Amino acid sequence: MIEPIDNSQQRQVLARTEHFIVTAEEALERGFDRIPVLFDLSGTTAGMFRAHGRQRELRYNPWIFSKYWDVNFQETVPHEVAHYIVHEVYGFQKVKPHGEEWQALMHYFDADPTVTFKADLEDIPQRRQRTHAYRCDCRDHEVSTTRHNRMLSGKGSYLCRYCNGGLVYCA
Protein backbone atom coordinates (compact mmCIF):
# COMPACT_ATOMS: atom_id res chain seq x y z
CA MET A 1 0.00 0.00 0.00
CA ILE A 2 1.27 3.42 -0.92
CA GLU A 3 1.92 6.03 1.79
CA PRO A 4 0.41 9.54 1.57
CA ILE A 5 2.63 12.55 0.92
CA ASP A 6 4.60 13.76 3.93
CA ASN A 7 4.52 17.18 5.65
CA SER A 8 7.35 18.50 3.48
CA GLN A 9 5.46 17.66 0.30
CA GLN A 10 2.26 19.12 1.76
CA ARG A 11 4.12 22.39 2.36
CA GLN A 12 5.28 22.33 -1.29
CA VAL A 13 1.67 21.88 -2.45
CA LEU A 14 0.55 24.72 -0.17
CA ALA A 15 3.28 26.99 -1.59
CA ARG A 16 2.31 26.08 -5.17
CA THR A 17 -1.36 26.74 -4.37
CA GLU A 18 -0.41 30.16 -2.99
CA HIS A 19 1.72 30.84 -6.09
CA PHE A 20 -1.27 30.36 -8.41
CA ILE A 21 -3.58 32.44 -6.23
CA VAL A 22 -1.04 35.29 -6.30
CA THR A 23 -0.63 34.84 -10.08
CA ALA A 24 -4.42 35.14 -10.50
CA GLU A 25 -4.50 38.22 -8.25
CA GLU A 26 -1.87 39.92 -10.41
CA ALA A 27 -3.60 38.95 -13.66
CA LEU A 28 -7.09 39.96 -12.55
CA GLU A 29 -5.97 42.92 -10.44
CA ARG A 30 -7.97 41.89 -7.40
CA GLY A 31 -7.48 39.93 -4.21
CA PHE A 32 -8.77 36.47 -3.36
CA ASP A 33 -9.42 34.96 0.04
CA ARG A 34 -7.05 32.33 1.32
CA ILE A 35 -9.27 29.32 1.79
CA PRO A 36 -8.54 26.06 3.62
CA VAL A 37 -6.34 23.59 1.76
CA LEU A 38 -6.93 20.07 3.00
CA PHE A 39 -5.16 16.80 2.31
CA ASP A 40 -8.16 14.63 3.16
CA LEU A 41 -9.50 13.58 -0.23
CA SER A 42 -9.71 9.85 -0.83
CA GLY A 43 -10.86 7.66 -3.67
CA THR A 44 -9.98 8.16 -7.32
CA THR A 45 -9.97 11.98 -7.44
CA ALA A 46 -6.61 13.76 -7.14
CA GLY A 47 -8.03 17.18 -6.29
CA MET A 48 -11.24 19.09 -5.76
CA PHE A 49 -12.43 22.63 -5.26
CA ARG A 50 -15.60 22.63 -3.20
CA ALA A 51 -17.98 25.50 -2.49
CA HIS A 52 -20.93 25.07 -0.18
CA GLY A 53 -22.61 28.32 0.71
CA ARG A 54 -19.89 30.65 1.98
CA GLN A 55 -17.56 27.75 2.78
CA ARG A 56 -14.94 27.10 0.13
CA GLU A 57 -11.98 24.74 0.22
CA LEU A 58 -9.36 23.05 -1.88
CA ARG A 59 -8.88 19.35 -1.22
CA TYR A 60 -6.09 17.11 -2.41
CA ASN A 61 -5.68 13.34 -2.31
CA PRO A 62 -2.36 12.68 -0.52
CA TRP A 63 -2.14 9.07 -1.78
CA ILE A 64 -2.58 9.94 -5.46
CA PHE A 65 -0.16 12.85 -5.05
CA SER A 66 2.34 10.44 -3.54
CA LYS A 67 2.05 7.89 -6.33
CA TYR A 68 2.04 10.45 -9.16
CA TRP A 69 3.82 13.39 -7.56
CA ASP A 70 5.12 15.16 -10.68
CA VAL A 71 1.89 15.23 -12.69
CA ASN A 72 -0.23 16.20 -9.69
CA PHE A 73 2.16 18.87 -8.46
CA GLN A 74 2.41 20.33 -11.98
CA GLU A 75 -1.19 19.95 -13.15
CA THR A 76 -3.67 19.19 -10.35
CA VAL A 77 -2.72 22.18 -8.21
CA PRO A 78 -3.28 24.82 -10.95
CA HIS A 79 -6.37 22.89 -12.11
CA GLU A 80 -8.04 23.20 -8.70
CA VAL A 81 -6.88 26.76 -8.06
CA ALA A 82 -8.35 27.72 -11.45
CA HIS A 83 -11.71 26.26 -10.35
CA TYR A 84 -11.52 28.34 -7.17
CA ILE A 85 -10.67 31.57 -9.02
CA VAL A 86 -13.37 31.07 -11.66
CA HIS A 87 -15.89 30.47 -8.87
CA GLU A 88 -14.82 33.66 -7.10
CA VAL A 89 -15.03 35.74 -10.27
CA TYR A 90 -18.25 34.31 -11.73
CA GLY A 91 -20.00 32.87 -8.66
CA PHE A 92 -22.72 30.40 -9.47
CA GLN A 93 -23.44 31.90 -12.89
CA LYS A 94 -23.79 29.57 -15.85
CA VAL A 95 -20.07 28.97 -16.31
CA LYS A 96 -19.02 25.49 -17.38
CA PRO A 97 -16.61 23.81 -14.92
CA HIS A 98 -13.97 23.36 -17.63
CA GLY A 99 -15.27 26.10 -19.88
CA GLU A 100 -13.49 28.92 -21.64
CA GLU A 101 -12.98 30.99 -18.47
CA TRP A 102 -11.29 28.07 -16.69
CA GLN A 103 -9.25 27.16 -19.78
CA ALA A 104 -8.06 30.76 -20.20
CA LEU A 105 -6.86 30.82 -16.60
CA MET A 106 -5.10 27.47 -17.05
CA HIS A 107 -3.30 28.88 -20.11
CA TYR A 108 -2.34 31.94 -18.09
CA PHE A 109 -0.97 29.60 -15.41
CA ASP A 110 1.00 27.88 -18.21
CA ALA A 111 -0.73 24.62 -17.27
CA ASP A 112 -2.32 21.99 -19.46
CA PRO A 113 -6.11 22.54 -19.59
CA THR A 114 -6.75 18.81 -19.80
CA VAL A 115 -9.62 17.76 -17.57
CA THR A 116 -8.26 14.49 -16.16
CA PHE A 117 -5.53 11.93 -16.58
CA LYS A 118 -5.85 8.16 -16.46
CA ALA A 119 -3.67 6.32 -13.99
CA ASP A 120 -3.42 3.01 -12.21
CA LEU A 121 -4.99 3.56 -8.80
CA GLU A 122 -5.06 -0.05 -7.64
CA ASP A 123 -2.97 0.54 -4.51
CA ILE A 124 -4.70 3.82 -3.57
CA PRO A 125 -7.22 3.62 -0.68
CA GLN A 126 -10.71 3.79 -2.15
CA ARG A 127 -14.00 4.98 -0.75
CA ARG A 128 -16.50 2.18 -0.72
CA GLN A 129 -20.11 3.18 -0.55
CA ARG A 130 -22.53 0.75 0.99
CA THR A 131 -25.24 -0.59 -1.31
CA HIS A 132 -28.87 -1.42 -0.54
CA ALA A 133 -31.00 -4.22 -2.01
CA TYR A 134 -33.89 -3.19 -4.24
CA ARG A 135 -36.10 -5.17 -6.58
CA CYS A 136 -38.15 -4.41 -9.70
CA ASP A 137 -40.43 -6.66 -11.77
CA CYS A 138 -37.53 -8.45 -13.47
CA ARG A 139 -34.44 -8.52 -11.22
CA ASP A 140 -32.54 -7.49 -8.08
CA HIS A 141 -30.64 -4.21 -7.93
CA GLU A 142 -27.87 -2.81 -5.73
CA VAL A 143 -28.51 0.88 -5.07
CA SER A 144 -25.95 3.30 -3.64
CA THR A 145 -26.54 4.89 -0.24
CA THR A 146 -27.00 8.27 -1.95
CA ARG A 147 -29.83 6.99 -4.15
CA HIS A 148 -31.28 4.94 -1.28
CA ASN A 149 -31.47 8.08 0.90
CA ARG A 150 -33.08 10.06 -1.92
CA MET A 151 -35.77 7.41 -2.30
CA LEU A 152 -36.40 7.17 1.45
CA SER A 153 -36.81 10.93 1.73
CA GLY A 154 -39.13 11.07 -1.27
CA LYS A 155 -36.71 13.22 -3.27
CA GLY A 156 -36.00 10.60 -5.90
CA SER A 157 -37.39 7.53 -7.61
CA TYR A 158 -35.62 5.18 -9.95
CA LEU A 159 -36.80 2.84 -12.68
CA CYS A 160 -35.22 -0.34 -13.99
CA ARG A 161 -33.62 0.27 -17.37
CA TYR A 162 -34.76 -3.18 -18.58
CA CYS A 163 -38.43 -3.45 -17.55
CA ASN A 164 -39.09 0.21 -16.65
CA GLY A 165 -40.54 -0.96 -13.33
CA GLY A 166 -40.12 1.05 -10.14
CA LEU A 167 -37.49 -0.07 -7.66
CA VAL A 168 -38.79 -1.33 -4.33
CA TYR A 169 -36.62 -1.54 -1.20
CA CYS A 170 -35.99 -5.06 0.14
CA ALA A 171 -35.74 -4.18 3.85
- Among all residues, which ones are annotated catalytic? 80
What strands, in cross-sheet order, belong to the sheet with 168-169? 140-144, 131-135, 168-169
